[in-house]
Structure 1
C-alpha cells in the first residue's frame, strides 16, 4: 500500500465520522513549499485537505492550523472570498495537523491569471479584498494572531542573516538600508501576510478566492500592499508593477477607493525592500530546513532562488548611489565552455536533465511538477562552472556594509554588486524575467 493509499484510508475514516461519503480522486496539488494540499471529491462536492507534511514544519509557524481555520472563518463571515472550512482535523483522525475546506472555483495558476481578459477589473477586486481584510475588527480575530513589532522583525532578519553565514553583500546592503529607514509604527491592521498572485483563485477575470492565511498578523497595511507588488510575484508581467495586473497608481487608487487608508509611497517602498530581504533570507533558509528535517526537493531548489531577490533588491536600492556610479555600465558576460576529454559535471547534468524530459508524458499531477523541479535542479548544476559568480559570498564586505563602513556611495561598489547579481542569477535562474531587464540596464546589452 502506497503512502497515498494510507492517506486516503485515514481521510475516508475522518469523512465518515462527519457524515461525508468516502473520497474520490484524491490527488496532491503541486506548489506550496510549506504545506500540502490534496484535492478530492466526496458527497458530490469538491474539497481540499490542507495539512502539514511534518510536525517540524508546524513548530516554526506563528500559529497552528486551528487558528488559521478560525481566521478563515472570520474572514468569510466578513464577506471576504475565503474558503468555507468543512472541519478541523482531530488527533484521532491520525492525519496530523490541518483542516478540510470546500474547494472554490477558479485557478491559482499565475500564467492563466495574468493572461486574463480584464486585468484592470481583477486588480480592482484584489484591492477591494485587501481593503476588507485590513478593516477586520480585532474582536473577530483569534487572539493567537501575532502583532508585528517593526524592530523585532528587523532583528529577526539580522539573526537569519547571521545563521546563513552573513556573507551576502547585497542582502547586507538591504539590512543596513532597512535599519537606516525604519518607519515609525502606526495603528496595526490585520495583514493577510501572503496576498499575491499564486495564492488567489481566479475564474476568467473574477476573483473567487483568497487562500493561504498561515502567516497573517497585525501590522502596517503597507506591508501587504507592497508584498503583492514584488517582482517575483509578477511572474512574466514585470511591466505591470501591481500584482502583474496593472500600475502601482491604479493599485493604490483602487485600494483607497474601497475604503483602505491613504497610502504613503515611502512606507510602501520600505516594506517592498523589507519583504524582498525577507524572502531572500527565506529562500536561503530552505536549504537548512532540508538538511535538518524535510527532504523536499522543491524546498532545496527554492533555496537557490535567493539570487532573484538579490537582483531585485539591488534594483530597488541602486538609486542611492551617485548618478555617475549608476550611469557606469559593466561589461556583459556570457557562459563559455570548451570542454575536452571525459564528460564534465555540467555535461552529465545536462544529459540527465534531457533524459528526464522524455518521462514527462509518463507522469501526471504532482509527480509531473516534481519532475520539472528535478530538471530545474540539474540545470542549476549544469551552469555552475560556466559563470564567474565573483565574490557573491564575502563576509568581510558584508560586515563592512552592515557597519556602515561601505555603502553605495563607495566608488565601484555598485558595479561590483551588479556583476555579482547578474552572474549568480544567470547560473541559478536564467529565465527570471528581471534578469533581462537588469542586464540591459547595467550592461547596455539588448
Structure 2
C-alpha cells in the first residue's frame, strides 16, 4: 500500500481538522520547516494560533522514524508531566497519518556544533537546565496510559543494535572499531531499572528561550531502557574536542562531571557510567560512518560528509581510552 503523503492531500486534511479546532479562523498555507532528518514537517497558522504538522514523507511507510503516531503518543503521555513538550492539538490516524502540535517558540542550538553561536554564558546555563530536564524525563512513569511503550532494551540489546550499524561500515572508515566492540562486550555493566528515553537528548533537540527550556522536540527514536543511554549521549556534546574538524570551543561550558552532578541532584552516583560514555562514542562513530559510506556509495551525495573521518577516529580512540 502506498502510504506517501501528497502535499495537496495533506493540506486539505490539515485545514479541515484545524477548522474544527478554530471555527471561523483563517487557516494559512503549510510552510516546510527546515532541519530534521525524518518525516515531513510543516508550520501552519490558524488564526492567532500556530502549529507544527508531522506527516509521513513521500514514498515511505509509517514505520520507525516515520511513525508519526508513535511520536504523538509520547508527547501526549508527557503533556501533564514536568518535562516541557509541545502540546498535541490534533491526531489523524487515517493513512497516511499525521498530527499537529503547538508551535513552541525558542531556539535549538548545539553550542559546540551549530550555527548561530549563542553567548557562552547562555549555552552553559542551558546545558545545566536540560540536565535537570533529563532527570525529570527519567523520573516519568514509562507505563503512562496510551504510551504503548516498547519492551525495554538492556545494555546488551543496545550494544547489539549499534554493533550492527558499526559493522556495516567499511573497516577502513572505522579504525579500531572491532577492538572497541570487543571491549564493550567484555565489560558490560549491570542494568538499572528501565526508564523513558528520548534517544537523542541534547541541546540541539531542546527549544530554549533565554536560558529556559521551552520544549523537548524530535521524539522519533524514543524508547524504554537504561537511563545511562540518554545520559552518556548528552555528555558527549559537552566538549568540542570530541568532534575534530567539526566542533568549536565554547568557553565555560559545564564539564561532564558538573552535568552529572546536576542530573543526579544529590542522588547517589550511577555505576558503570564510563561504559555508557564509551557506548555513546561508538554510536556516534557508527552513525557518522554510515552517513559517510552512503555518501561515498552515491546513495546520498553530501560532500560535507568528507569532514567526518577525523571525528570517527577520535570517537573510537577516546571510547577505548575510557574503557582502559
1:307 equivalenced with 2:313 (yes/no):
no
- In the aligned structure 2, how far is the partner of 1:290 from the partner of 1:73? 39
- In the aligned structure 1, how far is the partner of 2:280 from the partner of 2:323? 19
Contact 1:116 1:205 in 2 (8 A): no
Contact 2:52 2:101 in 1 (8 A): yes
- In the aligned structure 1, how far is the partner of 2:91 from the partner of 2:182? 43
Query: Which of 1 and 2 has higher RCO (CA within 8 Å, sep 6+)?
Result: 2
Distance 1:176 1:213, change over 3 A: same
- In the aligned structure 2, how far is the partner of 1:308 from the partner of 1:8? 44
Aligned length: 306
Distance 1:185 1:202, change over 3 A: same
The Cα RMSD (Å) is: 3.5
1:56 equivalenced with 2:60 (yes/no):
yes
Q: Match of 2:196, SS?
A: strand
Structure whose CA Rg is larger: 1
Contact 2:236 2:277 in 1 (8 A): no
1:72 to 70, 75, 84: 75
Distance 1:185 1:45, change over 3 A: same
Match of 1:183 in 2: 189
* Offset at residue 163 of structure 1 (A): 3.8
- In the aligned structure 1, how far is the partner of 2:105 from the partner of 2:274? 37
TM-score when normalising by structure 1: 0.59
* Offset at residue 81 of structure 1 (A): 0.7
Per-residue displacement from partner, 1:252-272 (whole Å, max 9, x unpaired)?
111111x76623442442333
Stretches of structure 1 lacking an aligned partner (at least 5 in a row): 323-446
Distance 1:286 1:87, change over 3 A: farther
Distance 1:117 1:158, change over 3 A: closer
TM-score when normalising by structure 2: 0.79
Of Structure 1 and Structure 2, which has the larger fraction of its residues in helix?
A: 1
Structure 2 matches for 1:73-222, cutoff 5 A? Answer: 73-91=76-94, 96-110=96-110, 111-112=115-116, 114-115=118-119, 117-140=121-144, 142-170=147-175, 171-222=177-228
Stretches of structure 2 lacking an aligned partner (at least 5 in a row): 1-5, 241-245
- In the aligned structure 1, how far is the partner of 2:304 from the partner of 2:155? 26
